[in-house]
Amino acid sequence: MREKEIKWYERAKVKTLLEGDDNTRFFHLVANGKHRKQHIYKLENDQGIVIGDAQLKSYITQFYKDLFGPPDVSEITLEEDRIQDIPQVTQEDNELLTSEFTESEVKNLYSRWNTTRLQVLMASRLNSIKSSGK
C-alpha cells in the first residue's frame, strides 16, 4: 500500500506527503490534473473542431509545414557509401594515429600539463591578490 502511495506522490510531484498519510485519492487527482493540463484534447480552427490524436497530429504537422514552408534544398546527404568528397586518411596516417603512445610521449605531455596547471594556479592567485587589494 505504501509503495502505491509513493508512486502517486512522485507522479504528482507534491511535497506535502505526511508520514503515514493515506491521501492517494488526492495524489491521483493532482497527477491526473497535471496530465490533463499537458495534453491537447481538441483544437478549434476555421473549419470547426479537430478531435482525436491522429487528427490533431495531422493538423498540427500541416500547420507548421504551412507556417515554415517547404524544406530548403540541401546538398547534404546521408548516403553512407558516398565518400568521394571526404578526404581519406592514408594507411600510413592511420597506423600513426592508432599506434600506442610511447613512454616519452606520455612523460612529455604530463610535464607540459603540470607546467600549464602551475601557470594557471599562479595567475589565479595573482588575480585574487590584485582584486583583494593586497
Residue 92: predicted pLDDT = 93
Q: Does residue 19 form part of some domain?
A: yes
Question: In this structure, are 31 and 55 located in the same domain?
Answer: no
Domain extent, residue 31, equals: 2-37
Q: Are 89 and 97 in contact (CB under 8 A)?
A: yes
Residue 20: predicted pLDDT = 43
Q: Does residue 77 form part of some domain?
A: no
Q: Does residue 96 form part of some domain?
A: no
Residue 19: predicted pLDDT = 42
**pTM of the prediction?**
0.34
Question: In this structure, are 31 and 48 located in the same domain?
Answer: no
The backbone torsions φ and ψ at residue 43, rounded to the nearest 5 degrees and listed phi first, read -135, 145
Q: Tens-digit pLDDT profile for the chain (134 aa)?
A: 677 767 666 666 555 554 444 566 666 676 666 666 677 888 888 888 988 889 999 999 999 999 998 888 877 767 777 777 778 889 999 998 899 988 888 888 888 888 888 788 888 888 777 777 65
Question: In this structure, are 26 and 47 located in the same domain?
Answer: no
The backbone torsions φ and ψ at residue 13, rounded to the nearest 5 degrees and listed phi first, read 55, 45
Q: Does residue 94 form part of some domain?
A: no
Q: Does residue 97 form part of some domain?
A: no
Number of domains in the chain: 3
Q: Output the 3-class SS for the chain.
A: CHHHHHHHHHHHCCCCCCCCCCCHHHHHHHHHHHHHHCCCCEEEECCEEEECHHHHHHHHHHHHHHHHCCCCCCCCCCCCCCCCCCCCCCHHHHHHHHCCCCHHHHHHHHHHHHHHHHHHHHHHHHHHHHHHCC
Q: Which residue has the cell 505526511?
A: 18
Residue 18 to residues 8, 29, 30, 42, 85, Cα–Cα distance (Å): 14, 17, 16, 37, 65
Residue 80: predicted pLDDT = 76
Q: Does residue 84 form part of some domain?
A: no
